[in-house]
């Protein structure tokens, strides 16, 4: 049977499900994913330990030298790097939605979902919702560690705005990883591809260090890197400084990535299931 012949009944079945039905299915799948985390608490280790390890590593290994470049010391660097790390986690933890999606396909879970009268989009939205919850948990851990190493929250409203902005950007990146999860053969392939995407974006940005000492070609890259605009917007919101330009650029990036990646992920998932 052709992919088109399979996709048409699926699309017709989805069309018969009401919005209330989609919301009910999404809620049930969110509960299923949360129960899976409860049974497998090790799946939260990255959200728990990544903020701790990265904060201590960058503050106490690089904080002194980069802090001097910023015109202060380690204390100055703490104020610089913590907002950037919020931006980093929004992308790093997004990778988990792709690997988990791939594992569900290989374990046969998706075959079970295919036999149930549920909206196909509900599976995707539930994955994103649970991954955003993991990101919020990691953010809370990061802020606790940040305060312990000397970070001062100047604007509480700015902190909540930063978390919201990071969640918007993270949700857009998750569509990219969902596409990888449904396209690539296994979770290891998703992780490898994710590393190739994440590594240059994270370190070719203003997350960990100012960009004014970078060579010209790299600075051009960082100027258009959405992680740089997200990190700079976070600093402006949490510590003080210009916000508007970086905020709107980040929002535009998020909308553009979602507009491109979400339809591709949904189409590929529908055809595969």
Q: What is the pLDDT of residue 273?
A: 61
Q: How confident is the model at residue 8 (pLDDT cuts 50, 70, 90)?
A: very low
The whole-number average pLDDT for the span 138-144 is: 94
Return the structure tokens found at 95.
Answer: 């990778």
pTM value is: 0.86
Q: What percent of the chain lies above the pLDDT cut of 90?
A: 38
Whole-number pLDDT of residue 16: 64
Q: Measured between alpha carbons, how far is residue 264 from residues 110, 164, 179 in Å? A: 18, 25, 7
The mean pLDDT of 33-56, rounded to a whole number, is 88
Query: Is 90 exceeded by the pLDDT of residue 81?
Result: yes
Name the DSSP letter for residue 70: T
Range 18-24, long-range pairs (CB < 8 A, 24+ positions):
21/119, 22/119, 22/121, 22/122
Domain range for 252: 3-272
Residues 223-234: pLDDT tens digits?
Answer: 889 999 999 999
pLDDT at 7: 44
- CA-based angle 190:171:49, to the nearest 5? 65
Per-residue model confidence (pLDDT) at position 164: 95
pLDDT at residue 65 in the model: 83
* 185-231 confidence digits (pLDDT tens): 888 888 888 888 888 888 889 999 888 888 888 888 888 899 999 99
Mean pLDDT along residues 69-84: 88
Q: Tell whether the model's pLDDT for residue 267 goes beyond 60.
A: yes
Residue with tokens 């650029």: 249
Average pLDDT of the segment spanning 162-191: 91
**Average confidence (pLDDT) over 241-246:** 89
**Mean pLDDT score across all residues of the chain:** 85
Answer for the pair 236, 242: CB distance below 8 angstroms, yes or no. yes
Unique residue bearing structure tokens 């992680």: 227
Q: Is the pLDDT of residue 112 over 80?
A: no
Work out the average pLDDT over 131-142: 93
Q: How many domains does the chain have?
A: 1
Q: Is the pLDDT confidence value at 159 over 50?
A: yes
Mean pLDDT of 26-48: 85
Across 69-83, 110-124, 256-270, least confident range: 110-124
**Helix and strand element counts for the chain (H, E):** 13, 0
């Amino acid at each position: 049977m052709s992919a088109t012949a399979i996709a048409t009944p699926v699309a017709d079945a989805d069309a018969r499900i009401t919005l209330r039905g989609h919301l009910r299915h999404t809620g049930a799948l969110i509960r299923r994913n949360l129960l899976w985390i409860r049974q497998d608490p090790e799946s939260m280790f990255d959200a728990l330990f990544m903020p701790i390890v990265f904060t201590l590593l960058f503050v106490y290994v690089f904080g002194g030298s980069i802090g001097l470049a910023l015109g202060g010391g380690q204390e100055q660097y703490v104020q610089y790097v913590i907002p950037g790390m919020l931006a980093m986690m929004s992308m790093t933890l997004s990778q988990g939605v792709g690997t988990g999606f791939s594992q569900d396909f290989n374990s046969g879970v998706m075959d079970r979902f295919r036999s149930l009268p549920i909206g196909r989009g509900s599976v995707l939205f539930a994955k994103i919702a649970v991954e955003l919850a993991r990101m919020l948990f990691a953010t809370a851990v990061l802020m606790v560690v940040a305060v312990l190493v000397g970070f001062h929250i100047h604007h509480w409203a700015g902190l909540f705005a930063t978390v919201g902005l990071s969640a918007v950007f993270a949700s857009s990146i998750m569509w990219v990883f969902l596409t990888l999860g449904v396209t690539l053969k296994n979770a290891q392939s998703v992780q490898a591809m994710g590393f190739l995407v994440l590594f240059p974006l994270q370190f070719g940005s203003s997350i960990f260090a100012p960009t004014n000492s970078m060579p010209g070609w790299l600075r051009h890259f960082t100027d258009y890197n959405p992680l740089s605009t997200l990190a700079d917007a976070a600093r402006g919101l949490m510590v003080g400084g210009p916000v508007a330009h970086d905020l709107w650029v980040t929002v535009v990036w998020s909308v553009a990535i979602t507009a491109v990646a979400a339809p591709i992920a949904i189409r590929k998932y529908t055809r595969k299931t």
